[in-house]
Structure 1
Amino acid sequence: MRIVQLIDSLEAGGAERMAVNFTNALTGKVAFSGIVATRKEGVLKQEINHIDTYAFLGRKSKFDLKAIGLMSDYIKKNQIEIVHAHGSSYFFAVLVKLFNPKIKLIWHDHYGNRAEDNKQKNVLKICSYFFSKILTVNEDLKIWSLKNLNCNQVFFIPNFSDLKPTQEKTILKGEINKRIVCLANLKNPKNHVTLLTAFISSEVYKKNWTLHLIGKDFNDAYSNNLKAIIKENGLENSIFIYNACQDVKFILSQATVGVLSSTYEGFPVTLLEYAQSKLTVVSTNVGYCKNLVNHYSNGILFDPLDSDNLSNHLMYLAHNPEICSNFATQFQKDIEANYSKEAIINKYLNLI
């Protein structure tokens, strides 16, 4: 098989990371494994193992004929048989298929709030006539696709983590064994305000615990609000914002607790990366998160709209380091047993 992953950007994000993960993991297992970014490049470009299989189209508009031509050239040059389109890249993928009717088009849905968001639903429904298969990151999305789209070949396939060592640049501030990290871009629905509110009310910072926000800072109203909260509470030495970073594996190796506080999620790769790094996980209970985290067995689940709930959990972990460590060990074992890269890739190859 000759496969290319299609993604709109290579900025840090779940769908973007999975496009790169699939590209790298399929190398050597199929005749050709490549990746194409349509609109933007980004930090994840550095994680593509074989950059000679990568192309950037510089797409400027929905119906960018130049970008369609570049993609068609890529398909012909590399004899592509399957285009695996992630997230919002499905529309461009359909346009490309109109010019290259022999290719098979697989769409991979990563959007955890799909059932609640009707924006462009009709466009997606029309485009789905051209999909050979649909892959989803949880069972709810699978059910939604079967009910609403025009493709009956729909399969749930879990995400997987594939963190690799990179140049070690980012040194986290604060004390060792007392660092809480949140790996999420500073935007909705990542719900950083609830996390900050809980961290402040828990007062774990008085015991020298620190909170570290790792993710793209868009320097907009959302991030300005977070910075204002930090300043108003005089916690500039306890809560830190780092912006997007490439050395995620190194960053996570310096932390003890990993938090995800989103109001909605599909199947967050972040939790898998926390597991790979043996962090104690405190996770929102939305999307597939509750299938990964067994409350008070291998981690902690909380209601993302309840900052008091999260605050209590942070206090509990801060006062019980042994339990904190046990959760981390068990979570890593559970993820390795059920969501290994090898198992997911084998399932993927069988499906396609």
Structure 2
Amino acid sequence: MRILQIIDSLEAGGAERMAVNYANALAKEIEFSGLVATRKEGALLNQLEDTVSYLFLNRKGAFDLTALSKLRKFVVENTIEVVHAHSTSFFLAFLLKITYPKIKLIWHDHYGDSEYLSSRPSFSLKLTLPFFIGIIAVNQQLKLWAEQKMHFKNVIYLPNFPAEDDKVLEQTILLGIPEKRIVSLANLRAQKDHLLLIEVAQKIKNSHPEWTFHLVGKDFDDDYSKKIKELIIEFNLENTVIVYGSKPDIKNILEQSTIGILTSKSEGLPVALLEYGLCQKPVVVTQVGEIPLLIRDGVNGFLVAQGEIQLFYNSLVKLIENNSIREDFGRALQDTIATKYSKNTVLQQYSNWIETRIK
């Protein structure tokens, strides 16, 4: 089989990580595995295996004919059978199909605001999805949406899976005291609700002042980002909450961390949570999206209703004050990841599903 992943950028986001994870994993399993970044490169480029064929289009607009021509040439020269389009790259895949009808398309829906699907724009999807042979949804809500709203039959739910980033240079050094660091792997977007995190951090500073919060994720330098930084100053949290921006060496960062958290208002199945589990980190996370299917409250982590500042704080304090619970949760979460969300398990389902689609 010869499969090409398409993603709009290689910055450190969940969909981008999964595009790289699929390309890398498939390179060991199939005849040809490639990846095309359409608009921007980024830190994840360094995580791409040498065995993955790579192309950057530098696409400037929706109807960039130069980029489309370059993509078509790459597909033809490498006799690609299946184009696996991630997130918003579906439109370029559709244009490719128009110019090269023999190609087969699948779309990977990573939509993060799955709590608010009723307001999701769908016109362009309704126009283009009839040209696709299948849809991969990262959670059950997205699968139902594709079936019921898009009236699409060939939809499969495949969970995200974590992957080691051993190729990445260990360069990030976290501030704060070792064994007293709380990490949040989340881009600075309103969906991730860092404002709740700030409220919790203020409480932790008062009760456990030696513990620090480490925010790792893309900083868009927008109003939301400015609000976070203003609150850090307003609450005198400059030495408690540290913002790092996007970083490629996630495994290295997690090895320096003690507890992983997610304060999101909405999620699919966050790759960050899988990475926490892969590195045996105990977690406190909000009860949104697919997270409750992964986290069993009090068994392999703490689940907190979205927006509950006091309950989130209480759960975090339990981990801070009890090392044995931290160790038990970390091991249990790692076991859960290995059993249900391993690369091999997901890839087997993926390969079987694609083979039935392209026959």
Query: TM-score under structure 2 normalisation?
Result: 0.95
In 2, Cα distance between equivalents of 1:15 and 1:319: 35
8 Å contact from structure 1 (residues 112, 141) kept in 2: no
Tell me the equivalent position of 1:247.
Answer: 249
8 Å contact from structure 1 (residues 161, 272) kept in 2: yes
Specify whether residues 145 and 300 from structure 1 end up closer, same or farther in structure 2 by C-alpha distance, changes over 3 A only. Answer: same
Tell me the equivalent position of 1:348.
Answer: 350
Q: 1:54-203 maps to which residues of 2 (within 5 A)?
A: 54-114=54-114, 116=117, 118-165=119-166, 166-203=168-205
Identity value in percent: 44
8 Å contact from structure 1 (residues 253, 277) kept in 2: yes
In 1, Cα distance between equivalents of 2:299 and 2:165: 28
Q: 1:117, CA displacement in angstroms? A: 5.1
The range that moved more, 318-327 or 199-208, is 199-208
Q: Which runs of 4+ in 1 moved over 4 A?
A: none
Q: 1:28, CA displacement in angstroms? A: 2.4
The range that moved more, 121-130 or 49-58, is 49-58
Specify whether residues 71 and 312 from structure 1 end up closer, same or farther in structure 2 by C-alpha distance, changes over 3 A only. Answer: same
8 Å contact from structure 1 (residues 177, 255) kept in 2: yes
Q: 1:321, CA displacement in angstroms? A: 2.0
* Residue 13 (structure 1) aligned with residue 10 (structure 2): no
Tell me the equivalent position of 2:38.
Answer: 38
Note the alpha carbon deviations across 1:53-92, whole angstroms, 9 max, x for none.
1111111111111111011011011110000001111111
Tell me the equivalent position of 1:222.
Answer: 224
Gaps of 5+ in 2: 355-359
Q: 1:303, CA displacement in angstroms? A: 2.0
In 1, Cα distance between equivalents of 2:162 and 2:119: 30
Equivalent AA in structure 1 for residue 304 of structure 2: F
Specify whether residues 172 and 205 from structure 1 end up closer, same or farther in structure 2 by C-alpha distance, changes over 3 A only. Answer: farther
Tell me the equivalent position of 2:357.
Answer: none
Tell me the equivalent position of 1:325.
Answer: 327
8 Å contact from structure 2 (residues 117, 145) kept in 1: no
8 Å contact from structure 2 (residues 24, 52) kept in 1: no
Count residues with an aligned counterpart: 352
Q: 1:204, CA displacement in angstroms? A: 6.0
In 2, Cα distance between equivalents of 1:119 and 1:67: 28
Q: 1:110, CA displacement in angstroms? A: 0.8
* Residue 309 (structure 1) aligned with residue 317 (structure 2): no
8 Å contact from structure 1 (residues 205, 238) kept in 2: no
Q: 1:52, CA displacement in angstroms? A: 6.0
8 Å contact from structure 1 (residues 12, 216) kept in 2: yes
8 Å contact from structure 1 (residues 138, 157) kept in 2: yes
8 Å contact from structure 1 (residues 161, 276) kept in 2: yes
Specify whether residues 204 and 300 from structure 1 end up closer, same or farther in structure 2 by C-alpha distance, changes over 3 A only. Answer: farther
Note the alpha carbon deviations across 1:308-331, whole angstroms, 9 max, x for none.
221111122222221122111111
- Please report the RMSD computed on the Cα atoms of aligned residues, expressed in angstroms: 1.4
Equivalent AA in structure 1 for residue 188 of structure 2: L
Equivalent AA in structure 2 for residue 348 of structure 1: Y
In 2, Cα distance between equivalents of 1:41 and 1:267: 24
Tell me the equivalent position of 1:49.
Answer: 49
In 1, Cα distance between equivalents of 2:69 and 2:259: 47
Equivalent AA in structure 1 for residue 68 of structure 2: I
Q: 1:218, CA displacement in angstroms? A: 1.9
8 Å contact from structure 2 (residues 260, 282) kept in 1: yes
8 Å contact from structure 1 (residues 161, 269) kept in 2: yes
In 1, Cα distance between equivalents of 2:7 and 2:207: 40
8 Å contact from structure 2 (residues 219, 225) kept in 1: yes
* Residue 236 (structure 1) aligned with residue 238 (structure 2): yes
Gaps of 5+ in 1: none
In 2, Cα distance between equivalents of 1:40 and 1:255: 30
In 2, Cα distance between equivalents of 1:250 and 1:216: 17
